């Protein structure tokens, strides 16, 4: 006997989060709970404004239609990425195939006053790896802040994310203020420029490794080994089902690339399943 429930939720963002020039005051999404006999599975569907193609209202319509089909015995996954991810997580929990624990390393997102960041990062236990958003301010300022952090903490490695914010000139301005002796401690810079060709040129000109993020969701993207490309950043909520996420991870590992599973600001349920 199958049953299902769908819940809508909204979580206020304390300070507000800026995503592509828009401030996110609340995080909105849906939970789906699937039950079959004594078993149950939960999934989160929370499209990310400014990044997901679908709104949560559109996701809700697709989810409700899928739930009705599932209750009737149809298990085919929906195509909409956020719904496919949440539903596949719920089905995996239902089948007890979602791992109970994971082996991963988290890279905390750091922002705020550079002097405060230095104190915070210097006290970080174990391997010091942190993520810093760049591209929100002037490229010169970003370069100076990154250089300051790397200079102050000799064992620090940074993952940077520009979200395609820079023109080639701004990318050069950033790199100009990062000491070449420190650049190898930039693990990678996610999508520095607006186009992949400009990002490839950034690698050649600066020696700073990059990672693909938005590119993975473009129809012409292919997994190939490229000079200076060190990682791919996979956001399951924007990607689709667990199976599609696994396929991308395997394709990356086959090329010797690091596969980073990244949050799309999910709730605690989604973050736990990630």
Query: What's residue 167's pLDDT?
Result: 96
- Of 33, 67, 94, the residue at which a domain comes to its end is 94
Q: Would you say residue 86 lies in a domain? A: yes
pLDDT value at position 21? Answer: 63
CA 89/CA 116 separation, integer angstroms: 38
Last residue of a domain, one of 94, 120, 143: 94
Are both 90 and 127 inside the same structural domain? no
The torsion angles phi and psi of 57, rounded to 5 degrees, stand at -65, -45
Q: Based on the domain organization, do 145 and 267 belong to the same domain?
A: yes
Based on the fold, state whether residues 117 and 253 are members of the same structural domain. Answer: yes
Question: What DSSP line would sit under the chain, residue for residue?
Answer: -EEEEEEEEEEEEEEEEEETTEEEEEEEEEEEEEEETTEEEEEEE---TTT-SS-HHHHHHHHHHHHHHHHTT--PPPSSHHHHHHHHHHHHHHTT-S-S--------EE-S-HHHHHHHHHT--SSEEEEEE-SSS-HHHHHHHHHHHHHH-TTEEEEEE-TT-B-HHHHHHHHHTS-TTTGGGEEEEE--BSSHHHHHHHHHHH---EEESGGGGSTT------TTEEEEEE-HHHH--HHHHHHHHHHHHHTT-EEEE---S--HHHHHH-
Question: Total domain count for the chain?
Answer: 2
pLDDT of residue 44: 94
Query: CA–CA separation, 49 vs 22, rounded Å?
Result: 9
On whether the CB atoms of residues 117 and 128 are closer than 8 A, the answer is no
- Point out the residues of the chain with pLDDT beneath 50: none
Q: Which domain holds residue 49?
A: 2-94
Per-residue confidence (pLDDT) for residue 18, from 0 to 100: 65
* Matching residue, tokens 């828009």: 22
Write out the two tokens for 88.
């596949």
Q: What pLDDT is recorded for position 17? A: 65
Do both 84 and 201 map to the same domain? no
Query: 129 pairs with which residues across the strands?
Result: 157
Residue from 161, 274, 142, 259 nearest 210 by CA = 161
Judge if 225 and 268 occupy the same domain. yes
CATH of the domain at 36: 3.30.390.10
- pLDDT attached to residue 116: 83
Residues 208 and 254 in one domain: yes
Say whether both 139 and 219 belong to one domain. yes
Tokens 């929100």 correspond to what residue? 136
92-125 pLDDT, tens digit per residue, is 999 988 776 665 667 777 777 888 888 888 888 8
What pLDDT does 50 receive? 84
Residue 140's CATH number: 3.20.20.120
Q: Give catalytic residue positions.
A: 133, 235
Q: What is the pLDDT of residues 16-50, one digit of tens each?
A: 566 666 677 888 999 999 999 999 999 999 999 88
């Amino acid at each position: 006997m199958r049953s299902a429930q769908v819940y809508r939720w909204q979580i206020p963002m304390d300070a507000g989060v800026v995503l592509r020039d828009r401030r996110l005051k609340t995080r909105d999404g849906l939970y789906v709970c699937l039950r079959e006999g004594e078993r149950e599975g939960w999934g989160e569907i929370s499209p990310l404004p400014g990044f997901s193609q679908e709104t949560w209202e559109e996701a809700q319509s697709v989810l409700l239609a899928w739930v009705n089909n599932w209750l009737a015995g149809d298990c085919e996954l929906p195509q909409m990425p956020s719904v496919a991810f949440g539903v596949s997580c719920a089905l995996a929990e239902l089948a007890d195939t979602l791992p109970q624990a994971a082996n991963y390393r988290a890279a905390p997102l750091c922002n705020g006053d550079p002097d405060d960041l230095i104190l915070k990062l210097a006290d970080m236990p174990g391997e010091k790896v942190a993520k810093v958003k760049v591209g929100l301010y002037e490229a010169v300022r970003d370069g100076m802040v990154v250089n300051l952090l790397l200079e102050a903490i000799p064992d620090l490695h940074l993952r940077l994310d520009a979200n395609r914010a820079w023109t080639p000139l701004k990318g050069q301005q950033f790199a100009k203020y990062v000491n070449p002796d420190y650049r190898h401690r930039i693990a990678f810079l996610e999508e520095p420029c607006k186009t992949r060709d400009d990002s490839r040129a950034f690698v050649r000109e600066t020696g700073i490794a990059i990672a693909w993020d938005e590119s993975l969701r473009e129809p012409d993207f292919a997994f190939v080994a490229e000079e200076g490309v060190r990682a791919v950043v996979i956001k399951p909520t924007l990607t689709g089902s667990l199976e599609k996420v696994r396929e991308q991870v395997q394709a990356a590992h086959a090329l010797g690339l690091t596969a980073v599973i990244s949050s799309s600001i999910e709730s605690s349920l989604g973050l736990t399943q990630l």
